Amino acid sequence: MMCRSLISKQMMMLCNGSLTSHLKRLTWFKSLMVNLKFNWRSVTKVTENLNDFLLENVDNEPETEEIEFKGFKSPFVIKSLTATELKEIQKRHTRKVLNKQTRTVTVDSDADAISDDLIVSSIVVPDLNNAQLQKSWGVVANPGKLLRKMLLAGQYGELAEKVQTLSGFDAEDLTSLVDEAKK
């Protein structure tokens, strides 16, 4: 009898143990299902939000702003620049130079040219590539030089600041971009 009760106790312990582990597994599975349902909702929400970023749903037109300067009858009109346009400008004015003695390659950027090109690229009115405008100011085929000749130093600085702000930069950001291009 003692043997039978001992076996029964062990069976009960086994059954209880497996029942407990079964309940634990069931609880774990239930929490997994809840998490999956939650994650599915998140995935659905992400998919819905993704539609907000598709090209046809984004206002991709550049912003424009008019700036009036003393001495000019019409205002200058500038537009915002995209990150792609900025990268192209940096590439145009950056070159790799090989040091023949040390056989090292360094990157050389013209910070003034980058700055001028950023400003010139953002100007919509006046058309700085217009031959008649260039001829009247005595500067041919150099829109950056033409703009510097047309404006006073303070006006040029104000224009540069407005271009930066319109394109989403703080005043200090252009300096850091030029420094980055030098690297």
**Does 46 share its domain with 100?**
no
Instruction: Give the count of domains, the chain.
Output: 2
pLDDT in tens, 53-110: 777 777 777 888 899 999 899 999 999 888 889 899 889 988 888 888 888 888 888 8
Task: Say how far apart CA 154 and CA 173 lie, in whole Å.
Answer: 19
**Does 150 share its domain with 79?**
yes
Which domain covers residue 89, as residue numbers? 64-182
**Does 89 share its domain with 138?**
yes
**Does 51 share its domain with 69?**
no
**Does 174 share its domain with 101?**
yes
pLDDT at residue 153 tops 70: yes
How does residue 156 score in pLDDT terms, banded at 50, 70 and 90?
very high
Distance of CA 22 to the CA centre of its chain: 51
CA angle 108, 112, 116 (to 5 degrees): 125
Q: List phi, psi (to 5°) of 70.
A: -60, 135
Predicted pLDDT of residue 33: 57
Task: Say how far apart CA 120 and CA 138 lie, in whole Å.
Answer: 17
pLDDT at residue 136 tops 70: yes
